[in-house]
Chains A and B, each alone.
Chain A
Amino acid sequence: MGNPSVLAPLLALGLGAFLVYLVGRIVSRRNETLAALTAAVYAVSLALAIQLGSEVTATRQPAWPVSAQAPVLRAEPGGMLVTFVGLGLGLLVALYSGRYLALDHRYEHYYPLLLLLSGGLTGMVMAVDLFTLYLFTVLTSAAAYVLVAFRRRTETAIEAGFKYAIMGATAGILLLAGVGHYYRETGTLSLPLSGRGTAPWGALGMAFVLSGYAIKGALVPAHTWLPDAHGRAPSSISAMLSGIVIEVNLYVLVKAGLGMGWPARRLGWLLVGLSLANMTVGNALALMQVYGKRLLGYSSIAQVGYIMMALGLGLAYNRPEAVSAGFFLLVAHAAMKGLAFLCKGICHFYCDATLIEELDGIVGRVPVTAACFVVGLAGLAGVPLLAGFVGKWQLVVSALDIAGPWVSLAIAVFVVNSLVSLGYYLPLVGRILKRPDNDGERIRVSAWMLVPTVVLALVVVGLGVFPQPVLALTREAARFLLTWGQQA
């Protein structure tokens, strides 16, 4: 029968989405009510996930259902870690939306979609069957397209959503084609399945699947939808998209690639090579941005590059420390970029700041938010005692431990990139902290928005000062990922 607790977090999200929709249609359309209800659903799901996570180790992975063939879902340490991050971020975003969406309508659509987005993500990281994986990917993407275009009265949102949907659908077709080819070759869809995937059709299928997730994970050169989507979506949704959605797609790319039988060494080097392109392109283009959220979007492309480099080096050389660094960077990026987008959202909501230059002296009007914004940006820039630094330090130490000319080159590119990234983080910090002008009257930010923002800022500091608890989880996740491909 398998372990039903694997299903529990997913069911909570799915039923919760339905419940929120019904409440929205029948009982109350008040934004605050629905936000609180959604947050409660997230809290329940997170509690169930933590309950489940406590049973999971690198060697013991509850699955559902254990039938004659193979399980469909399996809770494993890497997926659980990503799930915690996604649900935690979702909880905060739901609360934040309680005020942020005040000027919008159709709350009964927004919150269920948010829950479905998270449900899709949770399903994606747990799926150990290619077709299930495909279905959850489609669920996630469908929710994401609508949420990006949620402010449908603005032309730009429709345009961004459309672009995102077109590229996402292309990726979806590639995925489906990949799954089909793979099935033709192997006659099975369950992961992991090493060895048999190297035959021609299988290899083609694998290439399709990997390119599909590469588009969805915004890997250069398939990144072009990201700045539009993340720049035009409501900030709460941008926080989800940048903070967790692209990371999950990246994680699934690695997990599916290894599970379908790609040698870890080759996949690792592919990731390292792509990561260099990601960080360089992301940072270079971020330097030229005039819109705050687009800048953050490009910064996400660069930051995902750092995650890929760590995961790639770890896979290529079988180094758990490097993979662990990758997971830590993933957690850190979710917190830091989520924080940055939430702060940007507050600046937009209260001070109407869209362009970077409109953030000038925002510290005088919303001081606490400005402080949190600076914490997020400094964390992204890699300032010590904040989340980003711990991950980067681990990455550099584990990479130097590997040694070799190509690794040295990768490290050099990484270092130059982290220097270049200062070229946009610092001026942004400078603008935020600029001495306030004359019309700088204080604005009282609603607790709905302020509390999640401050909580995320504390998480960013906490991850930097006491990374130990999260490091224990990332170690376990790394141990799992390095053995995953060989489990078949």
Chain B
Amino acid sequence: MRHWWLLVLVGAPWAGGALVALLAGGRRRLAGGAALVTALASLVALLALCLDPGSRVDPVLRVPWIPAMGVQFALRLDALALPFLVNVLGVSLVAILYGWGYLLGHERTHLCYALILAFMGSMLGTLLADDALLFFVFWESMLVASSLLLAGWGEGERVGAVTLKYFIYTQAGSLLVLISIAWLVATTGSSDLGTIAARLSGIPRSQRTWVAALMMVGFCVKLAVFPLHTWLPDAHSIAPMPVTVMLAAAMLSMGAYGILRFPMMILGSAGLAALQLPVMLLALASEVYGALMCLACRDIKRIVAYSSVSQMGYVLFALASMTPRGIAGGIFHIINHGILKALLFMGVGLIMRATGRRRIDQLGGLSRSMPGIAAGISIGAIAITGVPPFCAFHSEWMIFAGGLSSSYPTLGYLELLAPLFTAAYAIWFATRLVLGPEPPGLQVRQNHPAMRWSFYLLVALAFAVFLLPGPIYGWANRATSLLGLGR
């Protein structure tokens, strides 16, 4: 009985999305509410799965799908997927809530909510898929749904070009993923992830390294690691804010999940040894480059977008440290980044909506005109630098510890300097917006309550996770233990 909750968890957004798409005409106002209810149904399913007393064994759902190709519709909830699931669900919920206010007055909102749900459903499916083909199907539907959202509801004049760039760029990464997954299937003769892992033991190390390298490049496109990041600032700055939140706070982490699931868990760490040094260097470059680009940008949405490049550098560095503590820190950081990036983007959205401006040199002194939002933005900016008493503190020190105990402690020391760059742009960003003189002609309108309250909810969460990090530590550690790293 229990495994059917898996189908609810993944299926609810898809089914709900299909229903929401039908809410045309006057019933369109119900779309936001219906979308939230649907997302909550997924949350209920996840809670039912986690709170079940028999949860010692992973819940698995298997239905034959294409017997001629040995493909099953197989879903499995294991410890590795859990923290990512929590992140995707949480981010989607607040994004939909925020959309109640942000999407008000947009055209065809019912279709927008339907696609947001499909986007969410495909991320959940990606995380739960226990079959290589199914994984790729969900992985691609993630791209299709998000591209349609960009194309249909993007803001600005270059929507078509940016969507095209986004699609082709990430599709290039996806094709590398496709090739390497197809290689796994061809080599092992099975598309079941467990069977693939079991049958790979006889494969020589050099071959594993090649495939792992292909996969790393493919997943790093999704993770937007320098120099494969160029789709990110464009796509994130044209998307409507709820979609931006989902892209930045949830979808980027899919790249990290892919790295953990395929090269690290299925191929095993042996094939990765040769890649460790270049990946760590790229991660460092990403951290620094993203931070510097933040300082170079003037568009506040673009600044926050570039901050993701830097933050995903932290995550990649953590994974590449190949130490249990570092990887657990990376997984923890995914959740913290989810909270903080959603918080910052929502804050930026509130400012853009309230003032009608998005250039940082035309903004300032918001502490007087919109004190609550200004305080929240400041908290978000301070938190992302990794100082207590906010959530990212926990994950960042784990990442540093992981870096120092890795095979390349020198890089671990260099990593300690990264927060300086983060602090540079974060503090600059917050002070420019919040303090200083108010620019001439700045008029501030009141924002929709749904937008404000979802923002404040995240501010509270950033603090709450600092106070009560226990459960997330537990999830991250259990996820890491699946990787079989010893130590």
Q: Which residues of A contact B (CB under 8 A)?
A: 378, 383-385, 389-390, 393-394, 396-398, 400-401, 411, 415, 418-419, 422-423, 426-427, 430, 433-435, 466-468, 471-472, 475
Contact = CB atoms under 8 A, between A and B. Distances in A.
23 contacts: A385-B137, A385-B141, A390-B66, A393-B178, A397-B182, A400-B179, A400-B183, A400-B186, A415-B178, A415-B179, A419-B168, A419-B171, A419-B172, A422-B167, A423-B168, A426-B164, A426-B168, A430-B164, A433-B148, A434-B160, A435-B107, A467-B68, A467-B69
A422 B168 contact: yes
Of residues B137, B163, B172, which shows the largest number of chain A Cβ atoms within 10 Å of its Cβ?
B137
A398 B182 CA distance: 9
A398 B133 CA distance: 14
Given A400-B179, A426-B164, A468-B68, 12 more contacts: A385-B141, A393-B136, A397-B182, A415-B178, A419-B171, A419-B172, A426-B163, A430-B151, A430-B164, A433-B151, A467-B69, A475-B68
B67 interface: yes
A415 B68 contact: no
B169 to A, nearest CB: 10
Contacts, number: 73
A422 B179 contact: no
Interface in B19-48: none
B140 A471 contact: no
Nearest to A464: B137
Contacts of A468: 66-68
Contact of A419 (B141, B144, B175): B175
Contacts of B144: 378, 383
Contacts of B69: 393-394, 467, 471
B66 A384 contact: no
B199 to A, nearest CB: 14
B152 interface: yes
Given A419-B171, A468-B66, A430 B160 contact: yes
Interface in B178-205: 178-179, 182-183, 185-187
A393 B160 contact: no
A100 to B, nearest CB: 29
B174 to A, nearest CB: 10
Contact of A401 (B163, B167, B172, B186): B186
A383 B140 contact: yes
A427 B183 contact: no
B363 to A, nearest CB: 29
B19 to A, nearest CB: 18
Contacts of A383: 140, 144
Given A419-B168, A433-B152, A471-B68, A393 B133 contact: yes
B141 A384 contact: yes
Give the 10 A-B CB pairs with smallest separation, nearest first: A401-B186, A471-B68, A400-B186, A384-B137, A396-B182, A384-B140, A397-B182, A400-B183, A397-B186, A415-B175
A397 B69 CA distance: 10
Nearest to A471: B68
A427 B164 contact: yes
A403 to B, nearest CB: 8
A418 B174 CA distance: 12
B182 A393 contact: yes
A226 to B, nearest CB: 26
Nearest to A420: B168
Contact of B66 (A397, A419, A467): A467
B289 to A, nearest CB: 25
A474 to B, nearest CB: 9
Determine chain A's interface SS by DSSP, over half rule: helix
A422 B171 contact: yes
A409 to B, nearest CB: 13
Contacts of B168: 419, 422-423, 426
A426 B171 CA distance: 12
A426 B167 contact: yes
Contacts of B66: 390, 466-468, 471
A451 B4 CA distance: 37
A194 to B, nearest CB: 30
Contacts of B68: 467-468, 471-472, 475
Contacts of A466: 66
A182 to B, nearest CB: 37
Contacts of B152: 433, 435
A398 B68 CA distance: 13
A394 B151 CA distance: 30
Nearest to B160: A430
A124 B137 CA distance: 37
A430 B163 contact: yes
A223 B186 CA distance: 34
Interface in B124-181: 133, 136-137, 140-141, 144, 148, 151-152, 160, 163-164, 167-168, 171-172, 175, 178-179
A232 B453 CA distance: 59
A225 to B, nearest CB: 31
Contacts of A419: 168, 171-172, 175
Contact of A396 (B160, B167, B179): B179
A464 to B, nearest CB: 9
A487 B377 CA distance: 77
Contacts of B107: 435
A34 B69 CA distance: 43
Interface in B289-314: none
B144 to A, nearest CB: 6
Contacts of B175: 415, 418-419
Of residues A419, A430, A467, which shows the largest number of chain B Cβ atoms within 10 Å of its Cβ?
A430
B171 A427 contact: no
Contacts of A389: 137, 140
A384 B136 contact: yes
Interface string B88-112: 0000000000000000000100000
Of residues B68, B137, B183, which shows the largest number of chain A Cβ atoms within 10 Å of its Cβ?
B68
Contacts of A394: 69
Contacts of A411: 179
Contacts of A390: 66
Contacts of B167: 422, 426
Contacts of B164: 426-427, 430
Interface in B62-93: 66-69
A378 B179 CA distance: 20
Nearest to A378: B144
Nearest to B141: A384
Contacts of B137: 384-385, 389
A378 B171 CA distance: 13
A422 to B, nearest CB: 5
Contacts of A397: 182, 185-186
Contacts of A423: 168
B317 to A, nearest CB: 29
A397 B179 CA distance: 8
Nearest to A324: B68
A466 B164 CA distance: 30
A400 B207 CA distance: 13
Contacts of B163: 426, 430
A294 B358 CA distance: 43
A381 B188 CA distance: 28
A373 B151 CA distance: 17
A478 to B, nearest CB: 11
B191 to A, nearest CB: 9
Contacts of A435: 107, 152
B187 to A, nearest CB: 8
Contacts of B133: 393
Nearest to A402: B186
A401 B69 CA distance: 14
B179 to A, nearest CB: 6
Of residues B67, B141, B152, B183, which shows the largest number of chain A Cβ atoms within 10 Å of its Cβ?
B183
B178 A396 contact: yes
